[in-house]
Structures are given as C-alpha cells and as structure tokens.
Amino acid sequence: MKRLRICFDTSVIGGCLDEEFAEPSRALLEMVRRGQVTVLLSDLMAAEIRRAPESVVALFDSLPIESLEQVVETDESRWLAGRYVEAGVLGPGSSADARHVAIATLAHADMVVSWNFAHLVHFEKMRGFNAVNLREGYGPIEIHSPREVI
C-alpha cells in the first residue's frame, strides 16, 4: 500500500490531549510511527509547533524523523494562499489556514488533516480551495479530519 503523504496542523497533535479528539488523533500519530503515513513538515507548521504548549511539542518530537518530509513555504504557495482569500474561501484572518492548504497543494500532498471544522474540514471549503486550484492550474486537494483517515 502506498504510504500517505499528509499535511496536518497542530490541532491534530493537540487533539491527543483533548478527550473528544484523543482517540483518532493518537491513532493517526501511531500510523505515522508505524510508517504508514509521512508527515509533510513545512516551516509554517514548525513555527506553530514551536509556539505550542510543551505537551504538544513533546508529542510532535516523539514522531520518528524518517516519517517527516520537509516542505518549504514559497512565494508561489503564498500567492496561492492569497487567491484563496481573494476568492472568499477564507477570510484574511485565516491566512495561516490558507497557507497550509497552499503548501500542501504545491507539495502534492495526499491530503490536509485537521480538526479545524470552521476553516478547513468542511465540504464547502474543500470545494472552494479546489475551485481556485483548478482555475489556477493546480491539482485538487483533499481535506479530512483524523477520524476520516484512521
């Protein structure tokens, strides 16, 4: 089976510490540890993790380095994130979420995984991101919660 390449935000790691989201979040991190999933680690995500509580940092640091793939935010990904905001997929206050999706799109990730139901994990948002992607000549991106992935 092909190893999944996913981008996720800190909500997935933080979900391990939240009763409502703990079981699927922990199961997803276990898939990473077993080598079934590669986490695409962008400089944006790394910065978010550095600002997170120590318990979240410790969980992230427990992931095997061989299951992480570095991806870099570029001028092109920032430009694409701007197109999402211009199209009204997300508001200006959600530019970090737009940047995550743009980075994942340009890295040809299999999906973005998040617990952010307001800005990411929602069928209308996914349609909006993909409409912009297709209009601008990029491939589609899937967005799911950890519960849908495990």
Q: What does each of the 150 residues of the chain score in pLDDT, given as a tens digit?
A: 789 999 998 999 999 999 999 999 999 999 999 999 999 999 999 999 999 999 999 999 999 999 999 999 999 999 999 999 999 999 999 999 999 999 999 999 999 999 999 999 999 999 999 999 999 999 999 999 999 999
Burial 24-43 (b: 16+ CB within 10 A, else e): bbbebbebbeeeebbbbbbe
Question: What pLDDT, on a 0 to 100 scale, did the predictor assign at position 42?
Answer: 95
Burial class (CB in 10 A: 0-12, 13-18, 19+), 1: exposed
Question: What pLDDT, on a 0 to 100 scale, did the predictor assign at position 5?
Answer: 98
CATH of 4-149, one of 3.20.20.140, 3.30.230.70, 3.40.50.1010, 3.40.50.2300: 3.40.50.1010
Q: Which amino acid is at 6?
A: I
User: What residues does each domain of the chain span?
Assistant: 4-149
Residues 6+ apart with CB under 8 A from 20: none
Q: Which amino acid is at 33?
A: R
